[in-house]
Amino acid sequence: MSDAQTQSSFIEVAHYQLYKSGQGAGGDTFLSQKNDSDGRVITVLSDGLGSGIKAGVLSTLTATMAMKFVAADMPIQRAAEIIMSTLPVCKERGISYATFTLVDIEPNSTVKIMEYDNPGYVLVRQDTVIEPIKNCASIERKNRKTAPQREAVVYYSDYRSRPGDRLVFFSDGVTQSGMGTKPYPLGWGAVRAQEFILEAVRESPEISARELAKRIVLKAQQLDCYRAKDDITCGVIYFRRPRDLLIMTGPPINPDHDTEMVRVFSSFSGKKIVSGGTTANILSRELGRKVTLNLRNIDPNIPPVSQMDGADLVTEGIITLGRVAEILEQGSRIGATASTERDRENGAGKIVEFLLDSDRITFVVGTRINDAHQDPNMPVELEIRRNIVKRIQMLLAEHYLKEVTIRYL
């Protein structure tokens, strides 16, 4: 693959998760990070034995160790040995308390994968499932008295990714869904799951990693008669051309810069959001385009959205962006999906959907103080616009692996 091909391919990492029915905590853990030092993207999915808090603690321990060892350039087999020697073993079943799938993606598009006791990953390339070549190694504990009763085998594989590749991996809550039902007495199984993934990709060739992961998990939940019998987690990594998003908020500090704001808005080739009434009025005036308020689906907490030719979304500013930050922060903690149900139709929820479906996000932030936000009677949550945008930038970069830039006017 040429350098140009590598640079034009963006790595979208996403996951979707449902807890076992009746559980308030999940037993699966999904972690991902991008190393600033070398540009590597590292992702781990660990499945704790059983469900609930105890399973969640052990899967979090496993995923965190795997992430840190690999990020520190520890040889992957040595990392596996330490993890396997650290994990406690269930006395009744004689197996380790957590499984894991680790994916390490280098900037040159080399993908390295380590798997222990999770269902095998699925590599989709050009509407076809590619069977990987895997090497395996047995991991022995130094203290054999605490070792699992059955041999612990870790699988290793690597390949060179290509634009359009999708890497799909999941906990056994997916493959074992539907177990005990008449259509699937032994569960959905890996083969049927692969067929479902291929069908979804063929129906929607541009389907995002986030949407594909969600479809797989919701299908597994459906097979469990909408009462998940286990934690169900799916991660998807999609190598594709980057999707760009512009969010323009706040008037420039100098009115003479209005024309520059219009130039940036008009020349941007991706999706465009205008957040702020004054910002929308400037663009409306300079471009001669009408802003129309949408009074459908009114939310009592978030101001309504508007429409303007050339913009994919027009919203109010500070209150809406503050709620966007809250949704992203909540999503980074619970892991399933950032946008909550009650925000799905309001301006904040819509902005979050755009953010999660984009890869490179540019904020153009006007720095003129809005007199309305100096009123001491306004809610304390109304932070200064710049601080809210910086908070959103941090959340997007650290928890959602987005590339975010901020430009001030």
pLDDT in tens, 303-334: 999 999 999 999 999 999 999 999 999 876 65
Mean pLDDT of the chain: 87
pLDDT of residue 6: 41
Lowest pLDDT segment from 63-72, 84-93, 245-254? 84-93
| Domain spanning 3-240: CATH superfamily | PPM-type phosphatase domain (3.60.40.10)
Residue with tokens 């500070």: 318
**Angstrom distance (rounded) from CA 212 to CA 234:** 9
Q: What average pLDDT score do residues 339-349 get? A: 74
Lowest pLDDT segment from 161-165, 190-194, 332-336? 332-336
pLDDT of residue 75: 84
Q: What average pLDDT score do residues 61-88 get? A: 86
Count of C-beta atoms within a 10 Å radius of residue 61: 19
pLDDT of residue 148: 52
C-alpha pair distances (Å), 320 with each of 232, 313, 349, 392: 32, 12, 9, 12
Q: What average pLDDT score do residues 170-176 get? A: 96
C-alpha pair distances (Å), 308 with each of 114, 248, 313, 342: 49, 13, 8, 25
Global pTM? 0.82
Please, is 110 exposed, middle or buried when counting C-beta atoms within 10 Å of its C-beta (0-12, 13-18, 19+)?
middle
**Angstrom distance (rounded) from CA 132 to CA 179:** 27
Q: What average pLDDT score do residues 7-21 get? A: 86
* Per-residue confidence band for 272, with pLDDT thresholds at 50, 70 and 90: very high
Question: Which parts of 85-214 are beta strand (E)?
Answer: 98-105, 110-116, 122-125, 128-130, 135-139, 152-160, 166-170
Task: Kindly tell me the sign of the dihedral angle through the C-alpha atoms of 191, 197, 200, 205.
Answer: negative
**Angstrom distance (rounded) from CA 368 to CA 267:** 23
C-alpha angle 46/194/111, rounded to 5°?
55
**Angstrom distance (rounded) from CA 401 to CA 15:** 12
pLDDT of residue 335: 47
Is the confidence at residue 380, as pLDDT, over 50?
no
**Are 245 and 197 within 8 A, CB to CB?**
no
**Are 59 and 29 within 8 A, CB to CB?**
yes
Q: Which residue has the higher pLDDT, 343 or 265?
A: 265
**Angstrom distance (rounded) from CA 193 to CA 187:** 10
Domain with CATH 3.60.40.10 in the chain: 3-240
Q: Which residue has the higher pLDDT, 243 or 334?
A: 243
Is the confidence at residue 188, as pLDDT, over 90?
yes
Q: What average pLDDT score do residues 262-282 get? A: 95
**Angstrom distance (rounded) from CA 157 to CA 204:** 28
**Angstrom distance (rounded) from CA 43 to CA 165:** 16
* Per-residue confidence band for 1, with pLDDT thresholds at 50, 70 and 90: very low
* Tens-digit pLDDT profile for residues 289-302: 999 998 887 888 89
pLDDT of residue 375: 55
Closest CA to 220 of 357, 20, 38, 23: 20
**Are 346 and 389 within 8 A, CB to CB?**
no
